[in-house]
A and B are shown apart, each in its own frame.
Chain A
Amino acid sequence: MIPSSVAVVAMVLLLGASALALFVWAWRRGQFDHLDEQSRAVFDARDPRIERPWESEAQRRERERAHGPPLPAQPGEWGGAA
């Protein structure tokens, strides 16, 4: 039975070891530091300021407080049709 499993066991160990190596590299390079700041890496400066028509008044005010005066959403802004 064991010989029939060698290839899979070896591959699982290889993938696990490569994931571990990548994890250590990421840790040493500071990839897990300042996570709150890093979570905003997906945005351009404009993104958080665009008006979202679905937001409540309170959510709108919160956005304005955090990011400044809103920018009007443009046609098709959300991936839809004009």
Chain B
Amino acid sequence: MSAAPADARREEIAIRASADASSRAPVLVFFATAVAWLLFGSLAGELASLALHWPDLLGFASFLTFGRIRTAHLNAMIYGWASLAMCGVSLWMIPRLVHQQLSWPRLAMAGAALWNVGLVIGIGGILAGRNDGLEWLEMDRALADPWLVAGGACVGIPLLATLARRTVDHLYVSVWYVIGAFLWFPVLFLVGNWPFGGVESAAVNWFYAHNALGLWLTAVNVGAAYYFIPKVLGRPVYSYQLSLLGFWTLAFFYALNGMHHLIGGPLPTWMITTSIVASVLMIIPVVAVAVNHHMTVVGRFAALRYSPTLRFVVIGAMAYTAVSLQGMFTALREVNRITHFTQWTIAHSHVGVYGFVTFVLFGSMYYVLPRLAGREWPSARLIQWHFWLSLGGIGLYVVALTVVGVLQGLVLLEPSAPFQRSVEVTIPGLYARSLAGLVLGAGHLLFALHCAALLRAPARRAMPALLEARPVVVRDAGAVQEPAS
């Protein structure tokens, strides 16, 4: 690589700069609105948590009751924060990886606007009492969902068009994950919202909800981890074969997973059992990804002290392994009979959506935003605070709810125990969750303020070179100084 001609390197830098420039505006809009939904979702989550141990606290307003505010929290986090930030990361990564400008960036901007309109209508509707009654699909299917479908299409089409115009033959593994997610999710969302009835509705609901996690949230964020870990470390993934094995086994097996949520429900036993088997088969992509990420970082863990991007993404990758293994065991009937209908499930879902997805997205944004803004993060200390508040908050959250979840499940299985006892054993965990929510919310507030400070900084640094492409300076024969990537 060092022997590459200077002209080729200049061309490479120009391609990267034009790819970044083409995606800059839509990515910034997606990130900005994602952070706004993160703050709203955090507040809603905290209020929902408080309502569980202080049930009369918010009873004066119907929109603050648990059934509405908890649902608003979930939708704000999944479709607001995570999905919008994932769109931003995807729109930034794909042009870079296929060496092409983003096609139709204005269409992507329109997508951000439409998606946000859908969210305002959908989540506003939930707070007003309009709820479709399906897990992860509570937003009104007639008033809100069409906006989301149109908005999603406006993001997916530019990505696919960019892919079609690529100037490289090979698709890096991150491209597979991201493009796969953008092909799968529209199908899942449309099918999930189809008005099935009776038992079929429950089956399709969990087919959707679990696949939204595995083929949307997981796919984009594993793809992002495969981009940022090697990029920061400056070394390729340990085994590219394993990375492809991970992607293709996810693509083949994951769709069967969702039915394990209905263990004990009125579905054919073969269907549940097939889903449990598929859940256990997930060990193949999970171990493939875990081994690959670990072996890529091994020997360089000191890098986590230097790079917030790497710190967040590596912790996120670890959480992916943890949540996937936990999910596999939870799918087994012997474990499920204890954990089903308990706080364990809430802890498990937060390891996934927060420990994995949100951490990878934070890490990605720490890398991408300075390069788009053309200036560096104003404060290393704020990044440190954000990291430790996030890690401490989610650690407390998960430990507390996991412990009380098991206790709750054991009490529920005790025939002589009154139901009231199964609630009482969770109360310490519920208080701990509210505390953890405050800690996480403080971290989110710092992150939002830091993002605003970065974007509003009046002047560029004297030496912002790493953040933007600049003219190549030839020092002496053959020695070329390029800007940072």
Contacts and interface: CB of A to CB of B under 8 A. Distances in A.
Interface of A: 1-9, 11-12, 14-16, 18-20, 22-23, 26, 29-32, 34-36, 38-50, 52-55, 59, 63, 67-69, 71, 74-82
Contact of A4 (B8, B97, B187, B267): B267
A78 B310 contact: yes
Given A5-B200, A42-B236, A69-B2, A19 B251 contact: yes
Contact of A15 (B198, B255, B379, B482): B255
A67 B2 contact: yes
B13 interface: yes
B162 to A, nearest CB: 16
Given A79-B307, A81-B383, 16 more contacts: A1-B267, A2-B268, A15-B215, A15-B255, A23-B248, A36-B236, A42-B172, A42-B231, A48-B234, A52-B233, A53-B306, A71-B482, A76-B377, A78-B306, A79-B232, A80-B306
Interface residues of B, number: 88
B186 interface: no
A81 B1 contact: no
B230 interface: yes
Nearest to B170: A38
Contacts of A82: 376-377, 380, 461
Given A38-B170, A82-B461, A1 B310 contact: no
Contacts of A38: 170, 172, 240
A16 B232 contact: no
A68 to B, nearest CB: 2
B237 interface: yes
Contacts of A46: 9, 482-485
B423 interface: no
Contact of B302 (A14, A54, A80): A54
A5 B199 CA distance: 8
15 contacts: A1-B267, A3-B200, A8-B258, A20-B252, A23-B251, A42-B227, A42-B230, A43-B236, A44-B12, A45-B12, A67-B1, A76-B466, A79-B309, A79-B370, A80-B366
Nearest to B378: A81
A75 to B, nearest CB: 6
B363 interface: yes
Given A39-B237, A52-B234, A8 B370 contact: no
Interface in B339-370: 363, 366-367, 370
B204 A8 contact: yes
B189 to A, nearest CB: 12
Interface in B93-126: 97
Q: Is the interface of B mostly helix, strand, loop or mixed?
A: helix
B256 interface: yes
Contacts of B187: 11, 14-15
A78 B379 contact: no
Interface string B236-272: 1100110110001001100110110000001110010
A2 B243 CA distance: 37
Contact of A7 (B97, B174, B183, B200): B200
A79 B366 contact: yes
Nearest to B243: A39
A4 B198 contact: yes
Nearest to B256: A12
B196 A7 contact: yes
Contacts of A74: 463, 465-466, 484
B158 interface: no
A3 B28 CA distance: 47
A54 B240 contact: no
B268 A5 contact: yes
Contacts of B444: none
B449 interface: no
A4 B256 CA distance: 15
B309 A78 contact: yes
B90 to A, nearest CB: 15
Given A5-B203, A22-B251, A38-B170, A45 B383 contact: no
B350 to A, nearest CB: 25
- Tell which of A14, A45, A75 has the most Cβ of chain B within 10 Å: A45
B241 A35 contact: yes
Contacts of B243: 39
Nearest to A49: B2
B1 A45 contact: yes
A80 B307 CA distance: 6
Interface in B179-210: 180, 183-184, 187, 191, 194, 196, 198-200, 203-204, 207
Contacts of A31: 170-171
Contacts of A76: 370, 376-377, 466-467
A75 B463 contact: yes
Contacts of B13: 44
Contact of B97 (A34, A41, A53, A78): A41
Nearest to B365: A79
Nearest to A74: B466
